[in-house]
A and B are shown apart, each in its own frame.
Chain A
């Protein structure tokens, strides 16, 4: 390395040093420490004591760990497909050459700019059982009944499983353990604006000549959607899927504000449990172990998504 190269390197390092110092001090060192703490009994107030794999062993027999994992998986199963489909549908609509297109795009994107707390407060009122807009609208159009699940209960009875209890409709949404998670999932669609924008960019990147060729071959709008749009958009769908997996498994703020994990811990999610263990119950070592398990789960799911992507993701030029 010449002295000129060295000078260039030093200059480069000097200019990137704020980020490097931040990355080292605020990401790498805390991550390394959390890995160490996950093998310790650490309450924050006392020095950590090495206990080996005890926190991980305890996690395996902790019913709340499994409950929050189940709830988070349920939330993810409801929100990821719904979010991907709704945002794709909106993007397809917004991609159509219609008057006022820019306004519609802005309107769809706007909710993603609203702070989480404000969004949560608005939706708590929308879901209010007696005064909420949703139930008022449902009652106004005469949708007031009791769901008895007769057919489902017959099947459950045959399988010797406890039947579902009748559910008043419109439901009490956030205060009924059976509908609280569904309400949170519905609410999550409010913030699809970012995904829609990414889909729109992907849609505009699809070459027009592919559509023209398909049209000449006699393909109608549905064929064009399934044989041109979706395959060409598959890298974007894959990107959004991976981001949704990561984001959904870490969701915290809005469920924490809207339900606090209740009722009956029906919406108690993994990240909330982790937060409570760390900062309310002073079990930072245990919470660190939870964080590393969460990372492993996210890595595994992302790995599965990457593993299957070869079958359904089509990159242009390959």
Chain B
């Protein structure tokens, strides 16, 4: 018995020694003597490989010169893992997060302010399109810089428009132009609807929930606002917001709730060839510039209407657009004259969490990425516009997305709106989603759903204020929500 227990103990000791000797070792690819900057990012697959190209470029140039080595690590749920690592005191040096994370993390002192570093590198707001610079700051301090930006626009199916040209003309809509106003858009969408003999929707001109990612931001296209950061107030009962939600509800009312549920259940998920826009079962969607890559990868024929892609790239930009079954324009607003080029602007942001071991070296990489040539290379690869105010002709001419000029125009628009910059944005987003569902499933009138949403949002913000006041960060006060505009 004694022999057996000693034998087991010996085996365990040998195993432990083996793990120590043969276990994880420092990365052998890191050149000796360099400071390693850990960079966590959400992108894996092609997008990750494209970012790795930029990281390699840095490591071979500026990194070599300044003795820095950036180690790129693709991480699923990077926001939650960064949060946990930051709480544990072992955060990455750079975290590639979303716009929605910034205020929530910055308001809890979880991010390193970058103002000083930016000043040292001569980086200021003059180099950026205003909407993107604005989303990098909170409470007057800079906490991030953009890696890849996006603007949302109407992506529409030109082949479907040609097929239904007579119906479009009958509805008073030009079959060769994108609709400009909401009223024209509604006629356009209705003219593109096709049903089978059983009444099932075969093609819908527009379905607000396809994919529905930005549907809760519809009030922007009606001139409404959702949130005033200065006063910490929500504006969900503004007449323009109610009007926007009434517009959302007009679609299930017209198309039929059951028919829409049936249509959506048959639709494939985003990123599949059966997704409605790619499959041609929906006439238009509110989407971002990445659709250029998705359409080409999932259904190349959509981007080779006249000539093969290899030939098209030699054509002038204006001529290139005729090769596409799909096109892009600003999503129509309620009044295109007073409210032109409305868009929701989003961006992937680079941040340095509090407690990062090498913040100065981390910023060297972030600053490298802000160079015009590097930024244009990355965003060409990712099929997105540039966040910088200066853009080269080459970037526009050689960009894989033939409609990148539209996205550039939208990004410069004074009607480009960023994410709600609330410290409780995740919670408010979930509440907004519920209100949209209530309206879309015809469970509540828009006025009811939005009044209830206002109450819930006010309660949540009140709680946040009270909890922050415990820490001496905010003065305790009663949060009010009013119906007017900020």
A binding-site residues for B, Cβ under 8 Å: 11, 14-15, 41, 43-46, 49, 51, 58, 128-132, 168, 172, 175-177, 262-265, 276, 279-282
Contact = CB atoms under 8 A, between A and B. Distances in A.
A138 to B, nearest CB: 14
Interface in B153-171: none
Nearest to B471: A49
B83 A172 contact: no
A260 B160 CA distance: 34
Interface string B29-45: 00000000000000000
A3 to B, nearest CB: 16
Contact of A172 (B8, B105, B265, B437): B265
19 contacts: A11-B5, A15-B5, A15-B8, A41-B467, A41-B470, A44-B87, A45-B108, A49-B471, A129-B265, A130-B265, A131-B266, A168-B258, A172-B258, A175-B264, A175-B265, A177-B441, A264-B441, A264-B443, A282-B83
Given A45-B87, A263-B437, A264-B443, A129 B261 contact: yes
Given A264-B438, A282-B83, A46 B261 contact: no
Interface of B: 5, 8-9, 80, 83-84, 86-87, 104-105, 108-110, 200, 258, 261-266, 424, 426-427, 430, 434, 437-438, 441, 443, 463, 467, 470-471
A261 B108 CA distance: 28
Main SS class of interface, B? helix
Given A45-B87, A128-B265, A264-B443, A58 B463 contact: yes
A176 B257 CA distance: 10
A263 B260 CA distance: 14
A175 B327 CA distance: 31
B190 to A, nearest CB: 22
B470 A51 contact: yes
Nearest to B460: A281
B460 to A, nearest CB: 9
A265 B434 contact: yes
A129 B263 CA distance: 9
Contacts of A45: 83, 86-87, 105, 108-110
Contacts of A177: 441, 443
Nearest to A18: B12
A279 B104 CA distance: 12
A265 B437 CA distance: 9
Name the 4 nearest CB pairs between A and B, nearest first: A129-B265, A130-B266, A45-B110, A45-B108
B470 A264 contact: no
B272 to A, nearest CB: 13
Nearest to B426: A280
A46 B109 contact: yes
A15 B426 CA distance: 47
Contacts of B424: 281
Contacts of B427: 280-281
A291 to B, nearest CB: 17
Given A175-B264, A175-B265, A281-B427, A44 B471 contact: no
A11 B426 CA distance: 52
Contacts of A168: 258
Contacts of A15: 5, 8
A282 B464 CA distance: 11
A315 B305 CA distance: 77
Contacts of B9: 14
Contacts of A129: 261-262, 265-266
A282 B86 CA distance: 13
B471 A46 contact: yes
B83 A262 contact: no
A276 B9 CA distance: 44
Contacts of A131: 265-266
Given A129-B266, A262-B437, 12 more contacts: A45-B83, A45-B105, A45-B110, A49-B470, A129-B261, A130-B266, A172-B265, A175-B265, A263-B437, A265-B434, A276-B430, A282-B83
Nearest to A62: B459
Nearest to A172: B261
A38 B430 CA distance: 24
Contacts of B110: 45
A263 B104 contact: no
Contacts of A175: 261, 264-265
B365 to A, nearest CB: 24
Contacts of B430: 276
A129 B104 CA distance: 38
B108 A43 contact: yes
B270 to A, nearest CB: 15
B235 to A, nearest CB: 22
Contacts of B258: 168, 172
B340 to A, nearest CB: 35
Max count, chain A CB within 10 A of own CB: residue among B87, B263, B443: B87
A45 B265 CA distance: 40
